[in-house]
A and B are shown apart, each in its own frame.
Chain A
Amino acid sequence: MDFKKLLWDLFYDTGKPLSQFYAWAHNLWMQTGLPGFILDVFFQLVIAVVIAVFIALNAIWIIYYERKFAALLQIRKGPNRVGPFGLFQTVADTVKMLLKEDINPDKSDILTFWAAPFIIFAASFGVFLVIPFGNGLIAGDVNIGMLYVLAISGLAVIGILSAGFGSNSKYSLIGGLRSAAQVISYEIPMVLTVLAVVMLAGSLKMSDIVAAQTGNPLKWYFIPQIVGLVLFLIAGNAEINRGPFDLPEAESELVSGFITEYSGMKFAMFFLAEYTNLFLTSALAATLFLGGWQGPFLPPVVWFMLKTYFIVTILMWARWTFPRIRVDHLMAFSWKILLPIALLNLLITAFLIKVI
């Protein structure tokens, strides 16, 4: 086999060598006479592990990036002691978390208290199934891709509620309730903006949405859907409880909201989930509005990461600039401003699709 061609394919048309490899392995497996699904389960597990490793490595980088970016905005240096340019700061922090005592508060509801970090993490982990990292580099290209994303990421609120309930702390409970109200309110404008994109692409499948935008930047959906992009970023930022919408945590009001009582590795799980969600929201915005992995010259994975981190930077910028919104303003903002605009956007999009 031509090595150079394989290398090219690996970078630019990743789906092809992967499916060739799968077919080859499948053939080999079938000769042993064992049932085929065992191989499939094995491959699924490999993919899951790869994604988990990616999440961990990405979190290390994204936390470092956020701290450096915040430092840039705040005219200070940021982490610069552990490793070159402070790159291993997050590793050191993680080790510290691992070594910390794992505290269960008095009279806490053990089941919900323990389940919460795992539910929250699982919700963000599951969404990675349909994130198209590159040309054919997608774990499971299901038909209902976008619907799946919205459904699975909506599960996180159960984790937050159970964290708030299980902690046996009033601050946690208020934080949990705030979060439930917030996530549900902002899910609706988010769904409506996503719907407009889905209408344009004519499919819920992620690879179709990317393909419909083509490699031409002028045909990416951020041009017809510029309102949608802004709405998506605002609603997405509120969904992941960051930036000016960090009411469930609200340090100055609720100490730490629903994570007040967590320590050690369980706290780290929340932290990991937060940054994974940040990455996911940005990745979705890049996929839906910025043409996904498509772009000239550079390999698709690089384009995908560049676009995602561009959105990540915008979200971080908002987080480190704005003061926190008050809880009733937050609700009013979603229901009275975002929702009508999203509906109008949807209507106009539908109308234009019919006309043009």
Chain B
Amino acid sequence: MNNYSNIPLQASNNGADEYILNMGPQHPSTHGVLRLVLKLEGETVKDIVPDLGYVHRGLEKLFENRAYGQIIPYLDRTDYLSAMNNEWAYVMAVEKLMAIEVPQRAEFMRVIFAELNRIMSHLLWYSAYGMDVGALTPLLYAFREREEIIDMVEAACGGRLTHNYYRIGGFRQDLPKGFFDMLKKFISHFNDKVDEYEALLINNVIFMKRAQGVGVLKKETAINYGVTGPNLRASGADIDLRKQDAYGVYGRLDFKACLRDNGDTWDRCKARMAEMRESLKILKQCMDMIPEGEVMAKVPKIIKPAAGEVYTRVEGPKGEVGVYIVSDGTEKPYRIKLRQPSFSNLSVIKEITIGHKIADLVAIMGSLDVIIPEIDR
């Protein structure tokens, strides 16, 4: 019969209604090349096994043959929607290893771009999620504002998706002229646009019926599985690395972690919507507080950290982005391990999907906001 090589599930023989469905690796709503093997009874999901590895590129091995400065562009290509945050986690690790002090202006710029990046990522999540639940129009509305942010980022660093902007010790170049005008214009109207997104999809009756009470992720389960980011905060755990680690200049900024109580699909959506508003608040403060000055610290031409190891983490749009570096004192790292949020976030899917319908599976997976190149690397 069917010649599939590795099917990790078997339909039980006595229950005649059960069958196995291969969802992906090519499927419109698996966000890239994720393969889910489902055991279904009718339309109800009985069991689910994610099968990973379809876009594995061996990035971590590649890092071992690159100088420290050459690694930054690769990080853009893990989670391409939060490139700035990934870069930040990495350069922060090297800076910690070499005890480099970053200029204040650069610190504020890092926050600005990390937050812009967070909004970008959430906007793309919103549009893709609209597609997942069958609403095709929100996509274009979210992209309208995303385009504005991308234009800003492009003006600053030249890249629209993969930025390669952060440097060990600061930034490649200072902000361009007129950047803050663009930012001011964006800040002035974005809050209304978030209202529009909520009216268009999140607060729609059909959507609320589909999302509320579906895929409930309990706080304990989330912590046990290592779920981070908005998914974790939607379950009610007050964990936001920007608050807890207060890296960069986050300690000086006034914002709150967006908590929700129920941990269902709808709460995860609402948490992201609230986070966009918080990011906007942070941007506003940064714009007022950013000082003039250098954007690059004094960094040696050849970056050669002393032997040792370091782990740094930042709060990416999807959760904790961690970089673990082992240095052996040469100009190339001995080993770099990335800890990125989507893997843990996806692993929880079995816990929260079983017993729901296929349509719910799509809604739940979308609400977890996983991105496959980040899982496979």
Asked whether A323 and B357 contact (CB < 8 A) given A253-B362, A255-B28, the answer is no
Whether A326 pairs with B27 at a CB distance below 8 angstroms is no
Question: Which residue of chain A is the closest to B132 with respect to CB atoms?
Answer: A252
Q: How far is the CB of B192 from chain A (nearest CB, A)?
A: 15
Instruction: Scan residues 357-374 of chain B and give those whose CB is less than 8 A from a CB of chain A.
Output: 357-360, 362
Q: A170 at interface (Cβ–Cβ under 8 A)? A: yes
User: Which residue of B130, B206, B358 is within 8 Å of A253 (Cβ)?
Assistant: B358
Chain B residues 12 to 53 lying within 8 A of chain A, measured CB to CB, are: 19, 21, 27-29, 43
Query: Would you call B134 an interface residue if the criterion is a C-beta within 8 Å of the partner chain's C-beta atoms?
Result: yes
Whether B131 is near chain A, meaning CB under 8 Å from some CB there, is yes
With known contacts A170-B19, A322-B204, A252–B144 Cβ distance under 8 A: no
- Option from A73, A171, A320, A326 in Cβ contact (under 8 Å) with B357: A326
User: Interface residues of A, CB < 8 Å — how many?
Assistant: 27
Q: How far is the CB of A37 from chain B (nearest CB, A)?
A: 51
Q: Identify the closest chain A residue to B27 (Cβ).
A: A255
B136 sits at the interface (CB 8 A): yes
The CA of A250 and the CA of B43, in the complex, are separated in Å by 13
CB pair B207–A323 under 8 Å, yes or no, is yes
A19 CB–B CB distance under 8 Å: no
> Given A252-B362, A328-B357, are A323 and B141 also a contact pair (CB < 8 Å)?
no
List chain B residues, Cβ under 8 A from A75: 140-141, 144
Assess whether A324 is in contact with B28, with CB atoms less than 8 Å apart: no
Q: Are A324 and B359 in contact (CB under 8 A)?
A: yes
B109 within 8 A of A: no
> Which residue of the partner chain B has the closest CB to A76?
B140
Determine if B206 and A323 form an interchain contact, defined as CB atoms under 8 angstroms apart: yes
Closest chain-A Cβ to B253's Cβ sits at a distance in Å of 33
A sample of 17 inter-chain contacts (CB < 8 A) reads A75-B140, A76-B140, A250-B134, A251-B28, A251-B29, A251-B134, A252-B131, A252-B132, A255-B27, A322-B134, A323-B207, A323-B210, A324-B133, A326-B210, A326-B357, A326-B360, A329-B210
State whether A253 touches B207 (Cβ < 8 A).
no
Question: Does B209 lie at the interface of the complex (its beta carbon under 8 Å from any beta carbon of A)?
Answer: yes
Q: Assign chain B's interface to a size class.
A: 20 to 34
A-B contacts, CB under 8 A, total: 78
Known contacts A253-B362, A255-B28, A327-B359; A322/B135 CB under 8 A? yes
A107 to B29, CA, bound (A): 27
A174 — which chain B residues lie within 8 A by C-beta?
43, 358
| Contact (Cβ within 8 A) B204 A327 | no
Given A252-B29, A323-B210, 5 extra CB contacts under 8 A: A75-B141, A170-B19, A246-B134, A251-B28, A328-B357
B357: chain A residues at CB < 8 Å are: 326-328
- Interchain residue pairs A-B with the least CB separation, the first 4: A324-B134, A323-B135, A252-B29, A74-B140
Separation of A328 and B356 alpha carbons in the complex (Å): 11
Q: How far is the CA of A87 from the CA of B200 in the complex (A)?
A: 30
A252 touches B133 (CB 8 A): yes
B137 within 8 A of A: yes
Residue contact A170 to B206, C-beta cutoff 8 Å: no
Chain A residues in 8 Å Cβ range of B135: 321-324
> In the complex, are the beta carbons of A329 and B209 less than 8 A apart?
yes
Of the candidates A74, A246, A322, the one whose C-beta lies within 8 Å of that of B206 is A322
Q: Taking chain B's interface residues, is the majority helix, strand, or loop, or is none over half, making it mixed? A: helix
B28 touches A323 (CB 8 A): no
Per-position contact with B for A242-259: 1 when CB-CB < 8 Å, else 0?
001011001111110000
Over the window 297-340 of chain A, the binary record of Cβ atoms lying under 8 Å from chain B Cβ atoms (1 yes, 0 no) is 00000000000000000000000111111111100000000000
Most buried by B among A174, A252, A326: A252
Tell me, yes or no, whether B201 is within 8 Å of chain A by CB: yes
- Say whether B130 contacts A323, CB under 8 Å: yes
A55-98 near B? 1/0 per residue, CB < 8 Å: 00000000000000010011110000000000000000000000
The proximity string for A residues 114-125 relative to B, scoring 1 for CB distances below 8 Å and 0 otherwise, is: 000000000000
Using an 8 Å CB-CB cutoff, how does the interface string of B185-216 with A read, 1 for contact, 0 for none? 00000000000000011001011011000000
Interface residues of A in 236-274 (CB under 8 A from B): 244, 246-247, 250-255
Q: How far is the CA of A251 from the CA of B204 in the complex (A)?
A: 20
Q: Which residues of B contact A247 (CB under 8 A)?
A: 359
Which of chain A's residues have a CB closer than 8 A to the CB of B29? 251-253
Chain B residues lying within 8 Å of A76, measured Cβ to Cβ, are 140
In the complex, chain A residues whose CB is within 8 Å of the CB of B27: 255
Whole-angstrom distance between the Cβ of B266 and the nearest chain A Cβ? 12
Q: Which B residues touch A255, using CB under 8 A?
A: 27-28
Provide the B111-141 mask, 1 if CB < 8 A to any CB of A, else 0: 0000000000000000000111111110111
Q: Which residues of B contact A251 (CB under 8 A)?
A: 28-29, 131, 134
Please indicate the chain A residues that have their CB under 8 angstroms from the CB of B139 in the complex.
74
Contact A327 B43 (CB under 8 A): yes
- Most B CB within 10 A of own CB, among A251, A254, A324, A326: A326
Within the complex, the shortest CB–CB distance from A334 to chain B, in Å, comes to 14
Bound CA–CA A329/B134 (angstroms): 15
Q: Within the complex, which residue of A70, A170, A320, A326 is in contact with B359, where a contact is CB–CB below 8 Å?
A: A326
CB distance from B319 to the nearest CB of A (A): 23
A:334-350 near B, CB below 8 Å: none
Complex interface residues of chain B between 312 and 365 (CB less than 8 A to chain A): 357-360, 362
Please measure, in the bound complex, the distance between the C-alpha atom of A104 and the C-alpha atom of B152, giving whole angstroms. Answer: 49
Verify B140–A244 contact, CB threshold 8 A. no
List, in ascending order, chain A residues with CB within 8 A of B204's CB. Answer: 322-323
Q: If A251-B28, A253-B29 touch, does A320 touch B136 (CB 8 Å cutoff)?
A: yes
A73–B135 alpha-carbon span in the complex (Å) = 12
Which residue in chain A gives the minimum CB-CB distance to B136?
A320
8 Å CB contact of A320 from B21, B137, B201, B360: B137
Chain B residues contacting A324 (CB-CB under 8 Å) are: 133-135, 206, 359
Q: How far is the CB of A274 from chain B (nearest CB, A)?
A: 16
Chain A residues, CB < 8 A from B144:
75
- CB neighbours (8 Å) of B134 from chain A are 244, 246, 250-252, 322-324
Contacts of A325 in B (CB 8 A): 206, 210
In the complex, what distance in Å separates the CA atom of A75 from the CA atom of B130?
Answer: 16
The answer to whether A323 touches B201, judged by C-beta atoms less than 8 angstroms apart, is yes
Which residues of the other chain, A, contact B209 by a CB distance below 8 angstroms?
Answer: 326, 329
Q: Are A170 and B21 in contact (CB under 8 A)?
A: yes
| Cα–Cα, bound, A170→B133 (Å) | 20
Residues in B neighbouring A321, C-beta threshold 8 A: 135, 137, 200
